[in-house]
Structure 1
Amino acid sequence: MTEPLAPLNTWIIVVTYNHQKYLATLFGSLAHLTHPNYHVLVIDNRSTDGTREFLRSQPLPIKVIYQPENTGFCEANNLGMARAFAAGADVCVLLNPDTEVTPDFLAQLEISYQYQLRKGVNVGLLQPVILHQQRREWLNTAGNAIHYLGFGWCKDNGYPRPTGNQDREIISVSGACLYIPKPYYQRVGGFNPVFFAYSEDQDLSWRGLLRGYRHFCCGSAVIYHDYHFSKSTAKWYHVEKNRLMVVLQNYQRQTLLLVAPALFAVELLILVYSIVGGFFGEKLKGYGFLIRHRKRIQTVRRQIQRQRTVPDKVFLPQFSSELVFSEIRNPLITWLVNPILRAYFALARRLL
């Protein structure tokens, strides 16, 4: 009989920026965790809504780093992971402040991780099943989708909760709750801080695929997320510039050349949509960002391509060929854009 393994030293990292209204629910649920060896580290990005006062009065034993400015989701989580792993953490769990956890979610994630290791799987990132907090039988995400042109979204958002508790291999984890073991962090790294926010989970997952890692959703671990889709102009700026950085940095040169015509055509459509949607200025601002940071992007790209061990053709079939955002339904996308994207993806895969 296999001897039980000692509980891993796990640090839960929560980045806050004016999230005070969510924290009582989150910390109330964290107080009931069954895992015997966990720590909570909060990185506050200079909140002005009473978050700091709330944290100072919090009875749950937590460690807090108060930032002098809002450095963004990516850089703050990187700071938390660096501190945690330097202090002896085996695993970091990056957790959104607008979540509520179940008592055994952390223990179940660890069981899944150890189980995959014992099978000899090169396991990378994990996530729990994430359900809507207000509609608790509705799925938020059990693994995110990646489109071959760099779009990412919560796959099956709004669908009924999946049946069964088995683990499922996924292409990308959700940053709402991301389980990152120390070996993965040491080899792949943390978030790209230039992203600031959005698409960072997709990029981190993709970079792991290039190193031969496999990601999983633990079916027996559950949390709830107070999820609301936002169409703010600031979000479009980060989402669009980050999407293009993910593609430019992670694809092999041959793949990048193959998808370039489709990427260019979709960019034209997005420019038109940005005029109608009122974020044309943010889209242009994103292009300006890419131009200003082109040397950094080239440097990161060279590093990623130098370290990769797996060619694109191995995992590219797992990418989505259609745009199926549950939050954005448009007949033009359904009946015109998606058929063309499907056909082009099939052609690109044959040529790769």
Structure 2
Amino acid sequence: MTPRVSAVVLSYQDEPWLERGIHALLASEGVEIDVVLVDNGCTDGAVERLRGTPGLTVVGDGTNLGFSPGCNFGATFTKGDYLVMANGDLVVEPDALLRLVEVASDPTVGIAGGSIRLNDDITTLNSAGNDIHFLGFSWVGGFGEPAATHAIAKDVASAMAALVMLRRDVWESLDGYESNYFAFHEDADMSWRCWQRGLRVHYVPDAIGRHRYEFGRVGNKMYLVERNRLIFMLTCWDSRTLVLLAPLIAATEVAMALIGAKSGWFGEKVHGWGWLLSHRKWLRERRRAVQSERTVGDKELSALMSDRLDAKNFPIPKSLLFLDAAAAGYWRTARRFLR
């Protein structure tokens, strides 16, 4: 029986790759495919040009819902047994969705993540699954490395949201992405919640998508990245883990504030703190819900966490490298006391 797959794609501002990406999804081989396109504020006319395309449903009124709320909204219009979330600036290879189905159909798998390649060189990785640091940082794994060095399928801490597939029952049990993230870190959150439920997150090297990767499309990115990192830790980490990490979390907040002051985004950092304080009730409720659904403890999951920051994604001055090493040493000791 041919697998029924529904893909959700968001369009935002200028989308020079959107039409190419939609047509690539609709031309996928070995699956029965339909695509839901969410108009999240596309400004270059691509959405209008795509209207009426067979197999495509266009929804939304042009309001920017954000990435995670937009994906959740689009998912309500899907019909397939498998859901794919694909970026509007990503073009899949013809067999990519079939390769993802082959993995996502395994009942032990929660998320199947594609091999995201850089658009200007398909042999070079954008992501082979994302890493998660014990202080909540997350970054694209394998960025800039030859794809051939990541040719083996493997479990990963997190799948990059640019190309992920879930069975419908998994998506619905997770209630999709957490909408309050708006954008950034929602993929780490969803991946980690899968791991907490005993479901694996798996990198599929032959499910290839070509990505027009841009680091800074959102103007308030550091506000969202830093705020969401804290949401992630405060809701997903076990209470004992948070207590053990409290000194490092506090020191990291000071360090990030100083970096923000030097780099021009200190106000965004403060704004993030303000949001967390004003949403204390929601944070408590969210934490209670996430923790109540877990069946796997942090002690077991800690093996998935990185203990050092990746130099390609977090350039650390040589004078501060010892702090990264010291934090890693602290974490190795703290891991013994996790539950």
Sort the TM-score into its range (normalised by shorter chain): over 0.9
Q: Does 1:323 align with 2:309?
A: yes
Q: Does 1:17 align with 2:12?
A: yes
Work out which of the residue numbers 210, 214, 230 in structure 2 matches 1:228: 214
Residue 128 of structure 1 contacts residue 220 of structure 1 at CA under 8 Å; is this kept in 2? yes
- CA distance in structure 1 between the aligned counterparts of 2:284 and 2:157, rounded to whole angstroms: 25
Residue 112 of structure 1 contacts residue 167 of structure 1 at CA under 8 Å; is this kept in 2? no
1:334 Cα offset (Å): 6.5
- CA distance in structure 1 between the aligned counterparts of 2:254 and 2:238, rounded to whole angstroms: 23
Work out which of the residue numbers 64, 72, 76 in structure 2 matches 1:70: 64
Correspondence list, 1:268-307, <5 A: 268-307=254-293
Q: Does 1:61 align with 2:52?
A: no
Q: 1:268–1:213: structure 2 CA closer, same or farther, 3 Å change rule? A: same
3-state DSSP class of the match of 2:76? Answer: helix
1:329 Cα offset (Å): 1.9
Task: Report the AA paired with residue 37 of structure 1.
Answer: E
- CA distance in structure 2 between the aligned counterparts of 1:40 and 1:231, rounded to whole angstroms: 24
3-state DSSP class of the match of 1:20? Answer: coil
Q: Does 1:93 align with 2:84?
A: yes
- CA distance in structure 2 between the aligned counterparts of 1:69 and 1:29, rounded to whole angstroms: 25
1:146 Cα offset (Å): 0.3
3-state DSSP class of the match of 1:162? Answer: helix
Structure 1, unaligned stretches of length 5 or more?
1-5
Q: Which position in structure 2 is the counterpart of 1:79?
A: 73
Residue 92 of structure 1 contacts residue 182 of structure 1 at CA under 8 Å; is this kept in 2? yes
1:213-264 deviation per Cα after TM superposition (whole angstroms, max 9, x unaligned)? 1110112211111112229650000001000000000111111101111111
Correspondence list, 1:98-247, <5 A: 98-114=89-105, 116-117=106-107, 122-163=108-149, 165-230=151-216, 234-247=220-233
1:326 Cα offset (Å): 1.7
Query: CA RMSD, aligned part only?
Result: 1.8
3-state DSSP class of the match of 1:227? Answer: coil
3-state DSSP class of the match of 2:41? Answer: coil
Residue 36 of structure 2 contacts residue 77 of structure 2 at CA under 8 Å; is this kept in 1? no
Residue 240 of structure 1 contacts residue 286 of structure 1 at CA under 8 Å; is this kept in 2? yes
Residue 26 of structure 1 contacts residue 101 of structure 1 at CA under 8 Å; is this kept in 2? yes
Q: Does 1:258 align with 2:244?
A: yes
1:128 Cα offset (Å): 1.3
Query: Number of residue pairs matched?
Result: 338
Residue 41 of structure 1 contacts residue 80 of structure 1 at CA under 8 Å; is this kept in 2? yes
Residue 15 of structure 2 contacts residue 89 of structure 2 at CA under 8 Å; is this kept in 1? no
Q: Does 1:34 align with 2:47?
A: no
Q: Which position in structure 2 is the counterpart of 1:3?
A: none
Task: Report the AA paired with residue 154 of structure 2.
Answer: R
Q: 1:46–1:210: structure 2 CA closer, same or farther, 3 Å change rule? A: same
Residue 11 of structure 2 contacts residue 47 of structure 2 at CA under 8 Å; is this kept in 1? no
- CA distance in structure 1 between the aligned counterparts of 2:16 and 2:42, rounded to whole angstroms: 12
1:156 Cα offset (Å): 1.4
1:47 Cα offset (Å): 2.5
Task: Report the AA paired with residue 347 of structure 1.
Answer: T
Residue 82 of structure 2 contacts residue 167 of structure 2 at CA under 8 Å; is this kept in 1? yes
3-state DSSP class of the match of 2:42? Answer: coil
TM-score by length of 2: 0.94
- CA distance in structure 1 between the aligned counterparts of 2:262 and 2:200, rounded to whole angstroms: 40
Residue 5 of structure 2 contacts residue 31 of structure 2 at CA under 8 Å; is this kept in 1? no
Residue 14 of structure 2 contacts residue 43 of structure 2 at CA under 8 Å; is this kept in 1? no
Q: 1:45–1:232: structure 2 CA closer, same or farther, 3 Å change rule? A: closer
1:207 Cα offset (Å): 1.0
Instruction: Indicate the percent of aligned positions where both proteins have the same amino acid.
Output: 31
Structure 2, unaligned stretches of length 5 or more?
none
Q: 1:293–1:164: structure 2 CA closer, same or farther, 3 Å change rule? A: closer
Residue 113 of structure 2 contacts residue 204 of structure 2 at CA under 8 Å; is this kept in 1? yes
Q: Which moved more, 1:126-135 or 1:327-336?
A: 327-336
3-state DSSP class of the match of 2:148? Answer: coil
- CA distance in structure 1 between the aligned counterparts of 2:237 and 2:262, rounded to whole angstroms: 31
Q: 1:219–1:59: structure 2 CA closer, same or farther, 3 Å change rule? A: same
- CA distance in structure 1 between the aligned counterparts of 2:160 and 2:62, rounded to whole angstroms: 27
- CA distance in structure 1 between the aligned counterparts of 2:304 and 2:170, rounded to whole angstroms: 21
- CA distance in structure 1 between the aligned counterparts of 2:34 and 2:320, rounded to whole angstroms: 46
- Runs of 4+ in structure 1 off by over 6 angstroms are none
1:285-307 deviation per Cα after TM superposition (whole angstroms, max 9, x unaligned)? 01011111111011010111112
1:308 Cα offset (Å): 1.2
3-state DSSP class of the match of 1:296? Answer: helix
Residue 22 of structure 2 contacts residue 35 of structure 2 at CA under 8 Å; is this kept in 1? no
Q: Does 1:51 align with 2:46?
A: yes
Q: 1:232–1:76: structure 2 CA closer, same or farther, 3 Å change rule? A: closer
Task: Report the AA paired with residue 62 of structure 1.
Answer: L
